[in-house]
Amino acid sequence: MSLLCALLILVSLLVPAMAAEEGVTLSKKNDTVSITINEFDLISNLSKQSEETLKKNGFSDEEIKRIKNYEDEFVKHIISINETYSDEELIGFGYTKDEVKLIRNFDKLQNSAKSSDELKANLTIYFTVLESLQYDQTKNETTVKIKYEYQWTRLPFFTFTDSFALGWNNTSIGPNTSIHNYGHSPVRIDYYLGSTLTRTDTVTSMPNGFYGTKCQFPMQSWAQPSSHAMHGTGEVSLVQSGDCNNINFHVYYVHAKLTLSYAFSILSGGLNFNSGESGVDWASWAFNVTK
């Protein structure tokens, strides 16, 4: 199966209210970093790939057409939510009263996607240290507990199957002494219709060797009017052999449409899609939890 859009947000996490920087370091309990990313910009970047490249990576002709005409897809999205949701529901999804007025008065013949920045969805990813690195001399092991979380503001216009994952590694030690055990809670996915929580799914977080944990979930409910997976959170506890001074982490969010399921794995080098399932380029910014 191919993806219409597999937008990988490999998070270069930011300290709140600070400029972006690589290698952000956290050490204390409740330390949090976050980044906010615009969905429209991500899809715009995907559309810049050549048709040949997109086709080579498994996209159908129809999917390529939609990718290349993403601005028209956005306009259709605004028209659809105008017809589907009440003012109260739109405000609950994160739109302001002024933005709701824009939606109600949106004219596809006079308004373009580029001129409607205030209506575009943002995704914020959070990473929090719940328990800092602690070394137990008796057991000769180091433990740490992490929470990873996402939050959509406004409704995304590409909605089908998304994924949320956390990867880690420690390159300062050999493979025989790498992270040997961890506990991972199911990821809680909250579906909202406006401000109303319609359901919460407990999605099994699948272990991925020594390198991470992942889950997949439908972004939109089948019931009409649709509720959306606007928020999700998971926790991971790691146990590292020996006295470990730092562990590197990455948060991954994969945003997709059309494909009900797709396969990817977290390897020591990062996120890896099965051959032919994604033509998206991505880069990694490391951040660390240290003592």
Say which amino acid occupies 190: D
Domain range summary for the chain, segments of one domain joined by +: 7-290
The DSSP element (H or E) to which 165 belongs, if any, is strand 161-169
Please state the separation of Cα 8 from the chain's center in Å: 7
Which residues make Cβ contacts (< 8 Å) with residue 151, sequence separation at least 6?
123, 124, 126, 230, 231
> 40 exposed, middle or buried (CB, 10 Å; 0-12, 13-18, 19+)?
buried
The DSSP element (H or E) to which 103 belongs, if any, is helix 97-104
Give the span between the Cα atoms of 263 and 275, in whole angstroms: 9
Give pLDDT tens digits for 218-248: 898 877 788 999 999 999 888 888 888 888 8
Which residues make Cβ contacts (< 8 Å) with residue 288, sequence separation at least 6?
23, 24, 25, 26, 246, 247, 248, 249
Q: The tokens of 217 are what?
A: 């979930």
Give pLDDT tens digits for 29-57: 999 888 888 888 888 887 888 998 877 76
Pairing of strands 32-38, 122-136: antiparallel
Give pLDDT tens digits for 180-200: 556 667 899 999 999 999 999
pTM of the model: 0.81
